[in-house]
Structure 1
Amino acid sequence: MTLSKSQGGAGLALLLLCAANFLDAMDVSTIGVALPAIQSELGMPATSLQWAVSAYVLGYGGFLLLGGRVADLFGHRRVFLWSLGVFAAASIAGGFVDSGTTLIAARLIKGIAAAFTAPAALALLLSVFGEGEKRAKALGVFASTGAAGFVLGMVLGGAATLISWRATLVMGAPVAILALVVAPFVLPKDHARTGHRPRFDWAGAITITPGLLLFVFGITNAAAAGWATFPTWGSLLAALVLILLFLRVESRHADPMVPLAIFRRAKLSHANALAALFQGVYVGFQFIATLYYQNVFGWSAFTTGFCFAIGGACVMFLAPRFALIAQSRGATGLMTSGVGLQAISYIFWVGAFGQINPIVLVGVSQLLLGVGYAMTYPSVQVAALSDVEDEQSGLASGLLFASFQIGGGIVLAAASAIFAAAPDFGWNAYVAGTAFVAALSVAVTLLAALGPRTAAAATLQDDIRQAAE
């Protein structure tokens, strides 16, 4: 028996799903500030140290499509519980690692578990809250916890590192275990399938999963070692071959893992493109700003992480409200305003570089960035899921989360390449890197403005035009 149909049960289900979403997003960035302590104790070389962070992203981004489709076929609750259990076990195991290899393995397993948990959680939320204002409000809360988890990950990681770097790996386990205990009582049971049961698309799974893994590996390696190295271009070339093979397989399969018709949904495709780019721009800026605050201002890891708390607070408190606006008035305008505010934040950061007090620089830029992120993140989710049926909600969620992860990797690789090459041209690396981010964010704003209009918005504009005529 579950309580999800009652108002209190639905609220508890939302709390549980948001907790899992927060953990998944938090683990992307939590360990970053602990890298010096990890290197000191485990003796990891610098070339492999970054994989303590990247292994999680590799597993997360590489398995999201598979995770979303598996959840649709085998049950959202069943997949959510199993993957959350693996996440908790890997978190605990991470506290006992004794080498760089075991640390990277634990992070990779956590990332894979998150790739199954995240789309299943979002699909369960859609099932619990149905349509209308309640769903919009729930989506806003869910989006705010995910965004806050990512933004506040460095803050929490810095605080945990004061105890031990191992605490950054273990601290999510108690929450995950508590969620596992409560989940069977509050999450809706998986519906028994009637009629035709789709065959699992093994050919699609064994082409797209390694294809995405190699793609994420390639762009991650590019950020660390450059685009000219064999592991980078070799991985990207192999990924391209596998993805093209996947598209051919899907076009011929009776029950494809990813029905290619889903990409003809204008709102979903536009939201995925926007998710990849705006998240990528943010990750690129976070990378450059973190280095600037530590290397130029001399701030500690904890202080640097705390700089992003303003943006995290804006997201937590404002995202639920913006989700309701996106649901009732359409997401395109809100997404455009949100990425526009982010663009202004990056432009301000470049223009004020070295000219104003550091506290003012952080405060103003983070306030603009936080409000803009709070407007964009839930609006993207509302737009992506607004015309997707329940039986494809897991897949659509996987596509959306994959867009966030892959976009972040691509833009980070480009921003870090510009940052590294700028001194050779006599440019300030921080200005050049952030100027690239700012210019790209302006292009993203234009892309957002070209998004599909809602029926209400289209009717209103037609009425205005007819009245003018």
Structure 2
Amino acid sequence: MGGRAWGVLLVLCGAIFLEGIDVAMLNVALPSIRAELGLSTATLSGVVSAYVLGYGGFMLLGGRAADLYGRRRMFLLWLVVFLVFSGLGGFATEGWMLLLARFVTGVAAAFMTPAGLSIITTSFEEGPKRNKALLFYAGTAAGGFSLGLVIGGLLARIDWRWVFFTPVILSALILLAALWLIKEPAGRDRVPRRLDLAGAVTVTTAMLLIAYAVVRLEHPGQGWGWTIASFAGGVAALAAFVAIERRSPAPLVRLGILKSGRLVRANAAALLFAGSFFGFQFLVTLYLQELRGWSTLETSLALLVVGIDAVLAPTLTPRLVAKFGNTRVIFGGLVLATLAYALFTPLGLDWTYAAMFPSMIILGLGFALAYGPLTIVATDGIAEVEQGLAGGLLYTAFQFGAALGLSAVTAVNVAVLGAGGSPEAALGGFRAALAVPVTLAAVAAVIIAAGWRSGPATRERDRVARA
């Protein structure tokens, strides 16, 4: 790749690094935020949920907007919005200010992330060059989350407001570089700019309602009425969206894209894989901090080794993909992730870090093998005019998977723990909840294995279906 191509890739990697570090830093700073602002548990949880709602609710619309209105334009515009509202979050003095800032930041990420991914997939030709770029991109994303845990712990010890101000500085630098390096990919003018307004309203409503229902699953004590109503409303809105898209002359989402078996399997596996990873990370954080009494920084450093995927994804994974193909590498990564979670299930009250280390290092290797190749498969063979949509579908799967994983492990943990408050009861809750990431990763591996024999003939059928 030439100098400008590397420059574009580094700018986009900076943006996905920014998104990962932003989420991770906030997660570890929540106790400090609660202590200063006096937030209730519900409001503190809402600070995280608001981002999930904005991100998950607008991701499909964001992905398609990049195709319709220009990838560079959408990327730059929403990077500015991300910068502004991240900074406003740092000046918050009330809970509602944080909720608003995180919701809009999530919406900005929902437009910015698929735009950035589609710039990569349309700037690099399909094949080894694109694969290399995507694996480098995936490694940067993982590195952002892993480093964010540590950086967030350090910043929270100084002042939690720096957790919001730091992304502002990074955003400004990325924006300046993007204005200079990123050009609108050729051929964009061929895409009709007509917006399917009815489709946009119904799919965004559906995603918001379903995301809200998933978030509420983490709080079974609040009752099931609103949760069931939100799910039902989301499904109804989704059904209306499908009906609208079937009749629309310029649909927001061409439903034929979902006829690709490779794309559907990749997105389903991505959803389950994200659910397993974020569910596991959440349980480990609670186990180390609440049951073992580790500090935020100690917990962050314990999880840092998982970030080895930031090194392996752009170095080891491309060689394995070239030799064995994406499907086999993804399958291997998911099997390793399942093993990592299973090795952690015998956790005890006196476990040393040496006992935890095998799970951490194996999970880092599994993540390096699965995440990048899943991104490749989910965008491989998709027409250039739908690359934003493909990115939106993939990141919607990741986001909803993360929310589902967190909700599932929380529900199981609470159900098993019951009214027991002893360390032994808490340990039993953690052990039971660890069955969730094990199961999710194993099912994802089975889904990928179902496409094991997907050779050139199957791929050609997928191309015909997409056309």
Query: What's the TM-score once normalised by structure 2's chain length?
Result: 0.92
Deviation sequence 1:256-286 (CA, Å, 0-9, x none): 1111101011111110000000110111111
**RMSD value, Cα:** 2.1
Aligned to 1:182: 177
Whether 2:84 is the aligned partner of 1:84: answer: no
Instruction: Identify which range, 367-376 or 237-246, moves more after superposition.
Output: 237-246
**Residue of structure 1 equivalent to 2:140:** 145
Q: Pick from 360, 363, 373: which aligns with 2:367?
A: 373
Question: Deviation at 1:148?
Answer: 2.2
* 1:297-356 superposed Cα distances (whole Å, 9 cap, x missing partner): 2100111122111011x21111123145336642111111101001111111113x2287
Q: Does residue 48 of structure 2 align to residue 47 of structure 1?
A: no
Do structure 1's residue 401 and structure 2's residue 395 form an aligned pair? yes
Matched, 1:361 2:355: yes
8 Å contact from structure 1 (residues 198, 255) kept in 2: no
Amino acid at match of 1:263: L
Per the alignment, do residues 132 and 99 of structure 1 end up closer, same or farther by CA in structure 2, a change over 3 Å counting? Answer: same
Q: Which amino acid aligns with 2:377?
A: A
Cα pair distance change 1:323/1:254, threshold 3 Å: farther
> Aligned equivalents of 1:89 and 1:208: distance in 2?
27
Q: Secondary structure at the match of 1:50?
A: helix
2:272 counterpart of 1:273: no
How far 1:217 sits from its partner (Å)?
1.2
| CA distance in 2 between partners of 1:181 and 1:173 (Å) | 12
| Alpha-carbon distance in structure 2 between the residues aligned to 1:261 and 1:425 | 50
In 2: Cα distance, 1:40 partner to 1:354 partner: 30
- In 1, are the aligned partners of 2:413 and 2:429 still within 8 Å (CA)? yes
CA offsets per residue over residues 41-63 of structure 1, 9 Å max, x none? 21211111111112112111111
Number of aligned residue pairs:
452
d(CA) in 2 for partners of 1:299, 1:135 = 42
Residue 210 of structure 1: CA displacement? 1.6
What is the Cα deviation at residue 437 of structure 1? 2.3
What letter corresponds to residue 396 of structure 1 in structure 2?
A
Question: Equivalents in 2 of 1:57, 1:324: separation in Å?
Answer: 35
In structure 1, the gaps of 5 or more residues are 1-5, 460-469
Matches within 5 A, 1:137-286: 137-191=132-186, 193=188, 197-226=192-221, 228-286=223-281
- The answer as to whether partners of 2:269 and 2:445 remain within 8 angstroms in 1 is no
Amino acid at match of 2:363: L
What SS does the aligned partner of 1:125 have? helix
Give 2:410's aligned residue: 416
Report what 1:462 is aligned to.
Answer: none
Moved more, 196-205 or 402-411: 196-205
User: Which structure 2 segments of 5+ residues have no match?
Assistant: 460-467
Alpha-carbon distance change, 73 to 226 in structure 1, aligned in 2, over 3 angstroms: farther
TM-score w.r.t. length of structure 1 = 0.92
The question of whether the paired residues in 2 share the 8 Å contact of 1:141 and 1:319 is answered with: yes
Greater shift in the superposed pair: 193-202 or 95-104: 193-202
> Which of 23, 31, 34 is equivalent to 1:36?
31
1:277-426 equivalence runs, <5 A: 277-312=272-307, 314-320=308-314, 321-323=316-318, 325-326=320-321, 329-351=324-346, 353-354=347-348, 357-424=351-418
Give, in angstroms, the shift of residue 154 of structure 1: 2.0
Cα distance, 1:243 vs structure 2 = 0.8
Q: Is the 8 A contact 2:272 2:401 kept in 1?
A: yes
- Whether the 8 Å CA contact 1:330–1:453 is kept in 2: the answer is no
C-alpha displacement of 1:189: 2.2
Which residue identity is paired with 1:269? Answer: V
Map residues 425-444 of structure 1 onto 2, 5 A cutoff: 428-444=428-444
Q: Which stretch of the first structure deviates more once superposed, 368-377 or 317-326?
A: 317-326
Say if 2:440 is the partner of 1:448.
no
Q: Distance in 2 between matches of 1:363 and 1:457?
A: 43
CA deviation profile, 1:147-178 (whole Å, cap 9, x unmatched): 22233332221111121111111111111111
Is this contact kept in 1: 2:67–2:191, CA < 8 A?
no
- Partners of 1:66 and 1:26 in 2: how far apart? 24
Structure 1 residue 111: Cα displacement: 0.7
Per-residue deviation, 1:387: 1.4
**30-39 or 16-25: which moved more?**
30-39
Distance 1:319 1:380 in 2: 12
Structure 1: how far apart are the matches of 2:320 and 2:29? Answer: 39
AA matched with 1:28: V
8 Å contact from structure 1 (residues 125, 138) kept in 2: yes
> Cα distance, 1:77 vs. partner?
0.3
1:421 deviation in Å?
A: 0.5
Q: CA deviation at 1:224?
A: 3.0
1:234 and 1:386 map into 2 onto residues whose CA distance is 37
